[in-house]
Amino acid sequence: RLAATRAAPVIATGAVGAWAAVTTSNDDWDEYFPPAPASTDRERIVILGSGWAGLNAMKKCGGEGKDITIVSPRPHFLYTPLLAGSAVGTTTLRSVCEPIRAVIENSWTTDAKFIRADARAIDAAKKTVSLKTGDGDKNLELPYDKLVIAVGAQPNTFGIPGVQENALFLKEAEDSAKLHARLLSNLERASAALACGECNQVVDALLTVVVVGGGPTGVELCAELADFRKDDIARRYGDEIADRFRIVLAEAMPRVLGPFDPQLADLARTHLETRGVEVREKCAVTGVTADAVTYQPSLPRSATAEQRLQAAAEAKTEKVGALVWAAGIGARPVVKKLAQQLGQGENARGLKVDDRLQVLGADGVFAIGDCALSGNAPTAQVAAQQGKYVGRAIRDRSDKPFEYKHAGSLCCLGFGNAIAQLQPQHQAWRSLHSAANTKVVGEDQRAVTGAPAFALWRGMYFTQLLSPSTRWSVSADWIRTSLKGRDVNEPV
């Protein structure tokens, strides 16, 4: 039996290339066998992650003498700006997921190989990455000459009890599918409970959705939920269910939308409230169970022991049908592990990089997007620009520092309304500055609100969709939603 197990390792020459060694998983083996062959004469570029940063890097770094491999556990690019809409059926999930293999096939600039796998560890000295393949039963050690780490981030639960086990999230396509299914299932259960004359508390709990975190993710999700209640719940499940459907937004800080100008954040909060969202600021969630949430007033770091005791005494627990955790992001395990190996700290929030986005202390390794501590915000806009920059730097061997060009920030507040905070030199501002609902905010920023901002939000994100096929499918979703209502198909 031992001999059979030892004979199991094979070299995968096909999909991965002659230099990749595959073994069966066995934690006892500390060496991969047989060893990876010596490097080929092509430069081996390995990109970890198929998101905004990784995909843009892949598209730019192709060229003669380059052997590019993109590695990701998900075989698609996820178009995150439309993810909140997909959770209530404004768009379908298929429209916001672009298969990586199709992107590669349709790209003129790259002939990258794709491996569906999870990067578990990086050996910066040996210049290898250890992967676990998609079905989780094979280990793979991939050597590189240049490594681009673009693995993004994961929801941060801050170790709050019960969150990991009981909360829903809004980060990946699967999260959106789970949330959509939960909403539809709770609506049906509440309708049935009403029909059976069950007590009010059961119905009200099923019809309560709590969104934790008033950042852009939480605000956009609440806006989509408010649209869903107004347009779809009333007509499909009846007025009583729609009237009792509650959307609660809990934000620990004194105001929602921290990254936006206070006037715009205030406008967003008021708009959500007029649409029936209960916005609770200075309200920290401290515990979550399968069907309940505990809140208490949040306190500044400087709070005294007495104030903390008082806040704990004011804690309230409420029954909920769905709780969505949108309270921020943290580093993935592979990033934390590498940061630790490089002496960048025990519990790093990302990888420290220099002005060329090269990881400090790791030769030939770049970190981009949400997993990099580059001094820029964790947004798609930053990730895409960093991806393009690193791709070009690898292709052209250029040494120019990265320079981020901020176009502005947008947040959708539901159909027909949004806020936009733009740089005055931005083209969108120049064409919109004469429209209604525009003003100056902050030192040198311009704000657009209401319908013009919504048109900007839709237009901008529509044109940035990757392919004609996703544009077609998102257009079809939007037309269907406005004519026939949102997608309320429960998964079969």
Cβ 286 to ligand NAI shortest distance, Å: 7
Q: List CB contacts of 16: < 8 A, sequence separation 6 or more.
A: 22, 69, 113, 115, 140, 142
Taking the least distance from each CB to ligand NAI, the nearer of 79 and 389 is 79
Q: Which does 213 bind (CB under 5 to 8 A by kind): ligand FAD, ligand NAI, none?
A: ligand NAI
Q: Is 279 in the site for ligand NAI (CB under 6 A)?
A: no
Q: Is 250 in the site for ligand NAI (CB under 6 A)?
A: yes
Instruction: Indicate the SS3 state at residue 403.
Output: coil
Site string for ligand NAI, 163-202 (x = CB under 6 A): ----------------------------------------
Q: Which does 168 bind (CB under 5 to 8 A by kind): ligand FAD, ligand NAI, none?
A: none
Taking the least distance from each CB to ligand FAD, the nearer of 50 and 298 is 50
- Region from 101-109, 190-198, 352-360, 374-382 binding ligand FAD, contact rule CB under 6 A: 374-382
Q: Is 218 in the site for ligand NAI (CB under 6 A)?
A: yes
Residue among 214, 215, 321, 369 that touches ligand FAD (CB under 6 A) = 369
Q: Is 379 in the site for ligand NAI (CB under 6 A)?
A: yes
Taking the least distance from each CB to ligand NAI, the nearer of 219 and 394 is 219
Q: Which does 376 bind (CB under 5 to 8 A by kind): ligand FAD, ligand NAI, none?
A: none
Tokens for 93, please give them.
């999930």
Q: Is 127 in the site for ligand FAD (CB under 6 A)?
A: no
Cβ 53 to ligand FAD shortest distance, Å: 3
Size of the residue set binding ligand FAD (CB under 6 A): 33
List the one residue out of 245, 240, 215 whose CA is nearest residue 228. Answer: 245
Cis geometry, peptide bond prior to residue 34 (ω within 30 degrees of 0): yes
Q: Is 98 in the site for ligand FAD (CB under 6 A)?
A: no
Residue among 212, 359, 394, 474 that touches ligand NAI (CB under 6 A) = 212
Dihedral angle of Cα 149, 151, 155, 158, to the nearest 10 degrees: -30
Q: Is 450 in the site for ligand FAD (CB under 6 A)?
A: no
Q: Is 83 in the site for ligand FAD (CB under 6 A)?
A: yes
Q: Is 409 in the site for ligand NAI (CB under 6 A)?
A: yes
- Binding footprint of ligand FAD on the chain (CB under 6 A): 48-54, 71-74, 80-81, 83-84, 118-119, 150-152, 170-171, 217, 332, 334, 369-371, 378-381, 383
